[in-house]
Structure 1
Amino acid sequence: MATATETATVWRGPGVYSADELSLEQYHADIVPGGSLSSSGARALLDPGCPAQFDYDRRQPQLPKKEFEIGTAVHSVLLGSGADLVVVDAEMWNTKAIKAEVADIRADGHIPLKPSDMQQVADMVAAVRAHPVAGPLFTPGSGTPEQSLYWIDPDTGVTCRVRPDWLKHLPDLTLCVDYKTAVKADPEAVSKAIAERGYHQQDAFYIDGIQQVLGLPARFLFVFQSKTAPYLITVRELSDADRAIGRAKNQRALRIYAECTKTGIWPDWTGPTDSIPYISLPTWAATREAEEYLK
């Protein structure tokens, strides 16, 4: 959560905040008095997460993960917004001096990169620019990067927030283009990632937020890029049926968040109970083993 000073100097109510006005760190710290719910928060409240874990995690400072630095670096160059990239002129970061330099760069909020990593970032951005679909979507100057949008959910009264990667405004329509890097970016892998990471919830949450704040119809487009050369790209739009599932999950998460905020009780997976619940094997395991052993 943000400090009282940060909240007092930044928060001015629901609406649009530019990337210059509100940093990514402030966005994640949550500048809203009393708290707000993001798409990732809505996903964390539901299985396999739970309110207790969500409440703990949001109160802890989240350190940047080193394995995400390449993706974050590509994101920054592609969108022209985000952390500065600093090349450390060494391919091996195993000396005390280099480790200290890398630590200082990260402490300053920048991304340290090896020369080969910087070349990879440049090659990945070039692949996006050359892609027949993704390239025009991210044409420099044709969209707005990393705006933060805040609104009040009409059903629960919960303050919600999103930070779209790239908003491309067309006549009577806003395109929300979401860029993700992945180990695999083929359509089957993308489909699995959407299911496993709840990206259908993100899709619905962002569309609803954009329409609430900007008052225009919105479409959400996924741009997945492989982190392995030649850095192939898959661009997809979610089906209406899958988006409806994501929206229904978001609505449940909003109700849970509203209730937990009201009561101050953030339960774990089990919740209050006087008995020890039963647990079962996964359906696939029970079916397979029953066929083999219960003959």
Structure 2
Amino acid sequence: MTNREYHADPAISKSDLDQIHRSPLHWQYRKAHPPEQTPALLVGSAVHKMILEPSGFADEFAVAPETDRRTKAGREAYQAFQESAAGKTVITPEIYRLCTDMAEALSHCQTARQLLTGGRAEQSFFWDDAHTGIRCKCRPDYLRDGFCVDYKTTQDASPEAFQKAAYRYRYPVQAYWYLHGLGKNGLSGLDFVFIAQEKEPPYAAAVYYADELFLQLGQQEAAADLETLAKCRSTGIYSGYPEEILPLTPPKFALRDLM
């Protein structure tokens, strides 16, 4: 199954859970109005392809030539390029250099290199949730013996910063969701690991694993999100934020400053 076919399938993914967690109204709107690919998403897709499936990079991406399209020769060269790149995603030479630089830097991280060797990338899995009956899906970045590997680009891959990013972007839900889905497909006993690589030179990388508490938190949040979706489908009501007037309490860090 291609990435496009996977995303077109209506089964519920981790990104769906994130939208439902924000509010069912946000999830419903996004389903009806799929977001367009932003420059940041384009870079992320290209980097993932270069890291996880380098041999297939040229099948999906085409690098635009550095031609002066103000000239006749430049316009003709670019036209020929467009014809040869039909069906592929066009990226700039700058994005391509970023991809190759990040891949080169990651190749020097022995742990990451071993985790991304001897397995298979981008496989799709589906299952039915036992409690709600909702059809679910996941598409791990990379599977190999004993490990489900997820590659993340980040501003800061240090332990303290990545821990904060993990909770901000609900990585516990992702780790649980993928391991649960794989288990439903007969692939159990795997450890979930994140390869975090910074997006700025020197493109430093670190590897983290999801511990038991991390997975328990993910399980709790994923179950709550599915229950919310099941209720919405039953009632036909996809609510937004709470309608009652809510207190606006200072955050904990601000309260510490008052002490």
TM-score, normalised to structure 1's length? Answer: 0.75
- Give the conservation status (yes or no) of the 8 Å contact 1:129–1:138: no
Counterpart in 2 of 1:131?
109
Q: Work out which of the residue numbers 17, 23, 38 in structure 2 matches 1:42.
A: 17
The gaps in structure 1 that reach 5 residues or longer are 1-21, 271-275
Alpha-carbon spacing, 1:134–1:156, altered in 2? closer, same or farther (3 Å): same
Counterpart in 2 of 1:167?
143
- Give the conservation status (yes or no) of the 8 Å contact 1:200–1:245: yes
Superposed, 1:1-295 pairs within 5 Å as: 22-30=1-9, 35-46=10-21, 49-80=22-53, 81=56, 84-90=60-66, 110-139=88-117, 142-168=118-144, 170=145, 173=146, 175-270=147-242, 277-284=244-251, 288=255
Aligned-partner SS, 1:283: coil
Name the one with the larger helix percent: 2
- Give the conservation status (yes or no) of the 8 Å contact 1:144–1:167: yes
- Give the conservation status (yes or no) of the 8 Å contact 2:191–2:210: no
Alpha-carbon deviation of 1:143?
0.9
The gaps in structure 2 that reach 5 residues or longer are none
Alpha-carbon spacing, 1:36–1:137, altered in 2? closer, same or farther (3 Å): same
Aligned-partner SS, 2:245: coil
The count of residues paired between Structure 1 and Structure 2 equals: 250
Amino acid at match of 2:106: V
Alpha-carbon deviation of 1:36?
2.1
Alpha-carbon deviation of 1:79?
1.8
Alpha-carbon spacing, 1:179–1:286, altered in 2? closer, same or farther (3 Å): closer
Moved over 4 A (4+): 91-95, 285-292
Deviation string, structure 1 residues 14-59 (Cα, Å, up to 9, x no partner): xxxxxxxx221222222xxxx421111112211xx10011011012
- Give the conservation status (yes or no) of the 8 Å contact 1:50–1:267: yes
Counterpart in 2 of 1:16?
none
Provide the alpha-carbon RMSD of the alignment.
3.0
Paired with 1:94 and 1:219, the residues of 2 have a C-alpha distance of 54
Alpha-carbon spacing, 1:64–1:108, altered in 2? closer, same or farther (3 Å): farther
- Give the conservation status (yes or no) of the 8 Å contact 2:119–2:143: yes
Alpha-carbon spacing, 1:251–1:109, altered in 2? closer, same or farther (3 Å): farther
Alpha-carbon spacing, 1:290–1:159, altered in 2? closer, same or farther (3 Å): same
Alpha-carbon spacing, 1:108–1:54, altered in 2? closer, same or farther (3 Å): farther
- Identity percentage over the alignment? 28
Amino acid at match of 1:251: A
Alpha-carbon deviation of 1:119?
2.0
- Give the conservation status (yes or no) of the 8 Å contact 1:86–1:112: yes
Aligned-partner SS, 1:178: strand
Alpha-carbon deviation of 1:236?
0.2
Paired with 1:109 and 1:249, the residues of 2 have a C-alpha distance of 39
Paired with 2:200 and 2:138, the residues of 1 have a C-alpha distance of 29
Deviation string, structure 1 residues 80-116 (Cα, Å, up to 9, x no partner): 2577221122399999x69x97xx79x9553333323
Aligned-partner SS, 1:177: strand
Paired with 2:51 and 2:158, the residues of 1 have a C-alpha distance of 21
Deviation string, structure 1 residues 55-88 (Cα, Å, up to 9, x no partner): 1101223322111222211211222257722112
